[in-house]
Structure 1
Amino acid sequence: MRIESDPKLDFKDVLIRPKRSTLASRSNVDINRQFNFVHTGRTWSGFPLIAANMDVTGTIPMAKTLARMGAMVALHKYYSPEQLVAFFNSEESKNTFYTIGTNEADWEKLALVKKQAPVKMICLDVANGYTEKFVEMVSRAREQNKDAVIMAGNVVTGDMTEALILAGADIVKVGIGPGSVCTTRKMTGVGYPQLSAVIECADAAHGLKGQVCADGGCTVAGDIAKAYGGGADFVMLGGMLAGHDECEGELRYEERDGEQVPTSMVFYGMSSDTAMNKYAGGVAKYRASEGKTVEVPYRGAAEATMQEIMGGVRSMMTYIGATSLKEVSKRTTFVMVGAQLNNVFGNS
């Protein structure tokens, strides 16, 4: 048994210190980035935000909306081959990851889709990226998809970030337990504060010319700004993008003035009872549920939320004098705090 005594930080533990800036307006900053991927030589440019590969948020309608805004989506695994072929043959798929797990059926479906449509980005997703089997699966994915950008995870430490990049991942997904509907930390006691995980994994990845995606823990636009400040190349969102028209969650309605009006949407973790009952016939006897089911407010179209997020990131950049998103981590100084917000009139 060992104890690490140096502080590990979450988004709530810090603020970004402002710096003198020559920027006069949010319109003077560039929130897009261009990346060169280490294993393929391919490039991608846009706003590096990804809708999570959860079945509520990782949808084809979400991909179409976010593509118009330069952002990305990791599709959930439960579309039919026919749906995937039709979508990946469209121009709207260029910013979209095809998601697979370690299940052999996932790999067979990917092979079937690839025969009929180009798949240029792959998300290899498991809850625990620390097994030798997973490293082998990343190597297999790279061998079978030499020209595809591969994102793999999840991990939270520099050593496994390096291992996954060396095995063939271009992007490593970072986060164990920080998600709004994830109960891994509660059920297992395992995890790592998300900001420190991002900082440490980004440092390891960038030394090998790879990238990291901060997955989970963002509840407001300021958290996304902090993730970029900590070195995240991409940020993945689940709960912040739930509840929109582009999602596939079950809507709940209330009667107002004689009409049924949507007020909330069901949202759940992909290791929850809800998800496992839906896709696996229930929770296997050898495991426990590590997710919860909640209702989030109905939010209308995702474009308004995306504009709010992008506006928050732009504003952060003007506060620290960063003209491009790539500069943000170099110009970020975090200050540790005991409290961030004045909630005298509530938490909104």
Structure 2
Amino acid sequence: MPRIDADLKLDFKDVLLRPKRSSLKSRAEVDLERTFTFRNSKQTYSGIPIIVANMDTVGTFEMAVVMSQHSMFTAIHKHYTLDDWKLFAANHPECLQHVAVSSGSGKNDLEKMSSILEAVPQVKFICLDVANGYSEHFVEFVKLVRAKFPEHTIMAGNVVTGEMVEELILSGADIIKVGVGPGSVCTTRTKTGVGYPQLSAVIECADSAHGLKGHIISDGGCTCPGDVAKAFGAGADFVMLGGMFSGHTECAGEVIERNGQKLKLFYGMSSETAMKKHSGGVAEYRASEGKTVEVPYKGDVENTILDILGGLRSTCTYVGAAKLKELSRRATFIRVTQQHNTVFSSPPSSGAGRGSRSSSWLKATPFAPVTWSLRGSPGSRGPEAGPSLDLRSELSCPGSQTSLLKLTLGAVFFFLSFSFSFFLFFFLKKTVSLEYNAIK
């Protein structure tokens, strides 16, 4: 019989972190680096635990070079050749401690990964990535890889429940990727009806993993630096980002210019675009579970990195955590119905690139656009004058048009009612007068 789990599950958008008393004087005092010793590989890693997703648009060698300069991690996508890896290792040996080789669960995937790890022995991380980490085949594959590479640290996923986190850790994985369907270009939830709200998934999976001295990655669902902080606060040891790192110079693909705007292509690895590129198309027995989008070109990724790290440091100062490690212990989440004030929100522009750290993370469309006017002239922008409402823009909004229509219909109804009442009054008065005269 079907059953319903009635416990409410939450996403990042459903909560905020409650501020707490802090002894920190400055954001500069916050230490974002973590040191981990992994359960099965026994290896130790130190760095800032943010990972670029192993998607072929963002998990590039170019991205890894910049990320490693900040002691951050990149899961390199699996479509690079052995020669590509050899060239990267020769040119950037300093980056190899901050990258992982990615692989699927097929025989060819295993052979290719083995050849790369043999040619580049400095790489000590493996990312085993499948859409459905619940299959018995995947569990057996994790056991096989562990037996073949006993001293390599294995990331494996994706799953969203505690029992499967435990299963994969006991099968040899060190870090479990948590997330089914939360990604910005993932359509698994709409195509299959399967998923789990990311905040609750992280909280529950972290509890299961830490009980076995394992670790987890919150993979997907982050739209802004605040979401990254919430993932760490919920107990994630690492946070993996795809969409937030899309659209940069270091991403794969050419810059597209359309209508004066610079764009870059970003797509899910189960999208039709990805399957046509790497597999010759979508097989008849399956459906595309990803989408393809054009994102504004953001310039160098350096500015985005600084924005995320700055946001994390601010979070720690708000809750009184001197180290990122302390954030989950200091975190108290509160349920909310609104995250932020949208009065002055505007759609993100492509100009938030070089020299700019004010990227628009949340793509909110304002209800009534507000323009800055200089000396009261509508439409001109400038900080010297106060804000003024552009009534023409306001009335062009669908919500405002509906209100105006209701107001007009109300006025017409009132006029007709008044006219009818006036006519009825005089008609009755005339009738009564005639009857009175007749009686008289």
TM-score normalised according to structure 2 size:
0.77
Once the two structures are TM-superposed, the CA of residue 40 in structure 1 deviates from its matched residue by: 1.7
- Larger mean CA deviation between 244-253 and 59-68 belongs to 244-253
Which of 225, 229, 234 does residue 221 from structure 1 map onto? 225
Gaps of 5+ in 2: 347-359, 361-440
Once the two structures are TM-superposed, the CA of residue 88 in structure 1 deviates from its matched residue by: 3.8
Aligned position for 1:307: 306
Once the two structures are TM-superposed, the CA of residue 148 in structure 1 deviates from its matched residue by: 0.5
Once the two structures are TM-superposed, the CA of residue 249 in structure 1 deviates from its matched residue by: 2.8
Aligned position for 1:42: 43
- Spell out structure 1 runs of 4+ moving beyond 4 A: none
Q: Deviations over 1:254-307 (max 9, x none)?
A: 476xxxxx7110100000000000010100000000000001110111111000
Aligned position for 2:257: 253
Matches for 1:225-236 after TM superposition, within 5 Å: 225-236=229-240
Q: Is 2:120 aligned against 1:117?
A: yes
Which of 150, 167, 173 does residue 169 from structure 1 map onto? 173
RMSD: 1.1
Count of aligned pairs between the two proteins? 343
Which of 126, 132, 135 does residue 130 from structure 2 map onto? 126
Alignment partners' CA distance in 2, 1:116 and 1:196: 40
Once the two structures are TM-superposed, the CA of residue 111 in structure 1 deviates from its matched residue by: 1.8
Which of 183, 189, 193 does residue 185 from structure 1 map onto? 189
Aligned position for 1:28: 29
Identity of aligned residues (%): 57
Aligned position for 1:79: 80
Structure 1 residue matching 2:270: 3-state secondary structure: coil
Q: Is the 8 A contact 1:243 1:249 kept in 2?
A: no
Once the two structures are TM-superposed, the CA of residue 250 in structure 1 deviates from its matched residue by: 3.5
Once the two structures are TM-superposed, the CA of residue 114 in structure 1 deviates from its matched residue by: 2.5
Alignment partners' CA distance in 2, 1:113 and 1:134: 21
Once the two structures are TM-superposed, the CA of residue 93 in structure 1 deviates from its matched residue by: 1.4
Alignment partners' CA distance in 1, 2:118 and 2:169: 27
Alignment partners' CA distance in 2, 1:228 and 1:115: 34
Alignment partners' CA distance in 2, 1:98 and 1:19: 40
Structure 1 residue matching 2:339: 3-state secondary structure: coil
Q: Which amino acid aligns with 1:235?
A: V
Indicate the structure with greater strand content.
1
Q: Which amino acid aligns with 1:73?
A: T
Q: Is 2:341 aligned against 1:337?
A: no
Structure 2 residue matching 1:115: 3-state secondary structure: helix
Aligned position for 1:212: 216
- Larger mean CA deviation between 100-109 and 53-62 belongs to 100-109
Alignment partners' CA distance in 2, 1:250 and 1:293: 15
Alignment partners' CA distance in 2, 1:66 and 1:330: 27
Alignment partners' CA distance in 2, 1:255 and 1:340: 33
Q: Is the 8 A contact 1:51 1:73 kept in 2?
A: yes
Indicate the structure with greater helix content.
2
Structure with bigger gyration radius: 2
Aligned position for 1:238: 242
Alignment partners' CA distance in 1, 2:41 and 2:180: 27
Structure 2 residue matching 1:73: 3-state secondary structure: strand
Alignment partners' CA distance in 1, 2:107 and 2:140: 14
Flag the structure with more relative contact order, 1 or 2, with Cα contacts below 8 A and sequence separation at least 6: 1
Structure 2 residue matching 1:8: 3-state secondary structure: coil
Q: Deviations over 1:54-73 (max 9, x none)?
A: 00000000001000001000
Alignment partners' CA distance in 2, 1:292 and 1:53: 16
Aligned position for 1:274: 273
Once the two structures are TM-superposed, the CA of residue 185 in structure 1 deviates from its matched residue by: 0.1
Structure 1 residue matching 2:145: 3-state secondary structure: helix
Alignment partners' CA distance in 1, 2:209 and 2:87: 34
Gaps of 5+ in 1: 257-261
Q: Deviations over 1:103-129 (max 9, x none)?
A: 211111122223321131000000000
Alignment partners' CA distance in 2, 1:179 and 1:255: 28
Structure 2 residue matching 1:53: 3-state secondary structure: coil
Q: Deviations over 1:119-162 (max 9, x none)?
A: 31000000000000010011111111111010000000000000
Structure 1 residue matching 2:253: 3-state secondary structure: coil
TM-score normalised according to structure 1 size:
0.97
Aligned position for 1:259: none
Matches for 1:188-207 after TM superposition, within 5 Å: 188-207=192-211
